[in-house]
Amino acid sequence: MRLVLDHLTMGHQLWSLTANGIFFPGVHLVSGDVGSGKSTLALMMAGLLAPESGTVIRDDIPQMMLSFQFPEYHVTGLSVAEECRSWDLDPDAVIRSAGIDVTGETAALSLSRGELKRLHLACVLARDYDLLLLDEPFSSLDCPGKEWVCGQLNKRAGGITVIFTHEQSIFPDIDHIWEIVGEELADCGDMPGAVVRWQHAPPLVKKLICTGRSPLALTPEGIREAACRTRG
């Protein structure tokens, strides 16, 4: 199983992006500045947007899911129950999993954005996909919600997970880091070595690296271990 980006190019007069690389099973993190093309890249990976040149090869990936940055774009049901059923899921089970204080009759678009994001992610994470593309999965989530998503992703049995995010604190166990720099997708490599090449590393991670305590993992446990490590 692999996702191949073979010399992709995309852009217009003010902006462009080139991407080349192979995504193997594991959890991949893609970061980049606002407007650098992360969501566009996610759409191309999912086959929802054709690149101007180059190809996306989804090799041995029968099932795929793209979670949009804005959870409201996914809503097709008027009520929470209708929305859950549109994913062919039991509403009560989804509401329990999402940890939100609503009923099935609650209007889906009356939820707060954080509640809507939880509901949407509970629907997405209820099934296993060979390729799971998550565009800003942590935006609008509270800290316990972010930890819940990380726990769900860490439990994924296999497949390729690609997370496009600006998140600065709470991450799942990341295997590989990529970032968009200078209109190009750069491969920072596998963890833990990738973190020292990662220009978009969160400020706390950068501080740890500067003090000679590069984290071995980006999980809260990994950050704690690095922060508590005796400087040698």
| Phi (first) and psi of residue 119, to 5 degrees | -60, -45
Does position 158 interact with another protein (CB under 8 A)? The reply is: no
* In the complex, minimum distance from the CB of residue 1 to another protein, in angstroms, rounded to a whole number: 29
Of the candidate spans 19-27, 56-64, 89-97, 221-229, the one that interacts with another protein by CB under 8 A turns out to be 221-229
User: If binding is defined by CB under 8 A, does position 114 make contact with another protein?
Assistant: yes
For residues 90 and 81, give the distance between their C-alpha atoms in angstroms, rounded to a whole number: 8
Our CB check for another protein shows the closer of 55 and 110 to be: 110
169-183 burial string, b = 16+ CB within 10 Å, else e?
ebbbebbbbbbbbeb
Sign of CA dihedral 122, 123, 128, 132: negative
As a whole number of angstroms, the distance between CA 226 and CA 211 comes to: 10
Min dist. Cβ of residue 59 to another protein (A):
29
Residue 111 or 160: the one with the smaller Cβ distance to another protein is: 111
In the three-class reduction of DSSP (H, G, I as helix; E, B as strand; rest coil), residue 12 is classed as strand
Q: Which of 58, 75, 115, 120 binds another protein (CB under 8 A)?
A: 115
Sign of CA pseudo-dihedral 156, 162, 164, 165? positive
User: Does 143 sit near another protein (CB under 8 A)?
Assistant: yes
Q: Is 63 in the site for another protein (CB under 8 A)?
A: no
Residue 177 is a binding residue for another protein (CB under 8 A): no
Q: Is 157 in the site for another protein (CB under 8 A)?
A: no
Of residues 9 and 214, the one with the C-beta less far from another protein: 214
Q: Report residue 183 CA to chain centroid gap.
A: 20
- Determine if 96 is a binding residue for another protein (CB under 8 A): no
14 binds another protein (CB under 8 A): yes
Instruction: Count CB neighbours of 81 within 10 A.
Output: 20
Q: Pick the closer one to another protein by CB: 22 or 227.
A: 227
Rounded Cα distance, 18 and 221, in Å: 34
140 binds another protein (CB under 8 A): yes
Token digits of residue 41: 């890249």
CA distance 20 to 90: 40
> Residues interacting with another protein, by CB under 8 A?
14, 31-35, 38-39, 69-70, 72, 100-102, 111-115, 117-118, 136, 138-147, 166, 168-170, 200, 202-204, 207-208, 211, 213, 220, 223-224, 227-228
